[in-house]
Copies of this chain bind each other. A is one copy, B any other.
């Protein structure tokens, strides 16, 4: 576990009673409630729920994840110009936040799923409307959604030709870096406290070159988003390490924003654009499920071992409705968890988790808690208080009577 030492720390907590005196020499129960590391997943189902309804895999979702990505695809978010679906998204975000989930919005600017009503407008107008969109969303969701993929897949953006759209001409004319500047500076102005990501699927030198240019241009990027859809098979340890090394070099936090490993046949390696692979049926298989569980464990372990990684988001809990019809979920179409679900849960809420533990305070009401950085709770005598296990934490909590 030495390789994970940077994920854990010890914090000395001082527990006071309702009167403010040290709760000395008392048994208290200490439990982790959330990881500092983001164990994320998309939560697109949340947007489709009627009031009071629960998402189909709700318990399984919350039993493993603490960070959600919500879909802000512009074409769907604002199907008609001037009529954004703010309320539906806000309701979804609020439901998640109320359950202690951190919410990220994906993405503010992207060529794919740009609104079709934007087609054919002059570049100046597209830029103005894009700025308005970013300002609107980031402002409207501040406090609910404070992490955003500010812009998505810029490496290919100006030369994208699979579908006509209004954002590609903007990126072609302004250039990649100026388009990134547009997205970041507009979002930053709307919510200076937001965490803004550059996100890309291109793990080649192209993305490295883009990042260098963006940093050289003085654009403040808070984290680098690395997609890692692995429908064609797990990267393996060597490639994963090399990706980590190549992108950690910029000194920015890394977010693995879109992680998938299939539990069935692999997509053939000659497919270049994953979207080009269309099959009638892509079943999950027993053998595939075992492989997926082993690879998922290895992959998450490697990512957690690298100190630059701040979060990993899995791209879809269930096979039902999965992107490309792939058996990429951790839960089968019938709602039963695959081995990968159990394997990941054994890490995230098992080996890497501080389960409820009884500790004894000293004469000064102090107790030392060692575990993965994150949010914790201390309970005694029927009341509880939360605290943080982290580097600079010297928490003091006061329990209610």
Contact = CB atoms under 8 A, between A and B. Distances in A.
B206 A217 contact: no
A172 interface: yes
A79 B236 CA distance: 41
A213 B172 contact: no
A155 B212 contact: no
Nearest to A207: B209
Given A205-B159, A217-B217, A212 B177 contact: yes
Contacts of A172: 249
A175 interface: yes
Interface residues of A, number: 23
Interface string A278-319: 000000000000000000000000000000000000000000
Contact of A206 (B158, B205, B214, B246): B205
A246 B209 CA distance: 16
A55 interface: no
Contacts of A334: none
A88 interface: no
Nearest to A155: B205
A210 interface: yes
A183 to B, nearest CB: 15
Nearest to A206: B206
A397 interface: no
A275 interface: no
A156 interface: yes
A158 B155 CA distance: 19
Nearest to A213: B213
B177 A213 contact: yes
Copy tally for this chain in the complex stands at 2
A202 B210 CA distance: 14
Interface secondary structure of A, over-half rule: helix
B175 A212 contact: yes
A19 interface: no
A59 interface: no
A216 interface: yes
Interface string A197-220: 000001011111110111011000
Nearest to A242: B159
25 contacts: A159-B205, A159-B208, A159-B246, A172-B249, A175-B212, A176-B208, A177-B212, A177-B213, A202-B205, A204-B204, A205-B206, A206-B206, A206-B208, A206-B209, A209-B209, A209-B210, A209-B213, A210-B212, A210-B213, A212-B213, A213-B214, A213-B216, A213-B217, A216-B217, A217-B217
Interface string A235-249: 000000000001001
Contact of A176 (B176, B202, B209): B209
A177 B218 CA distance: 13
Contact of A216 (B204, B216, B249): B216
Contacts of A158: 208
A204 to B, nearest CB: 6
Contacts of A159: 205, 208, 246
Interface string A153-164: 001101100000
Closest 3 CB pairs of A and B: A213-B213, A206-B206, A209-B209
A177 B176 CA distance: 16
Interface in A55-71: none
A249 B177 CA distance: 14
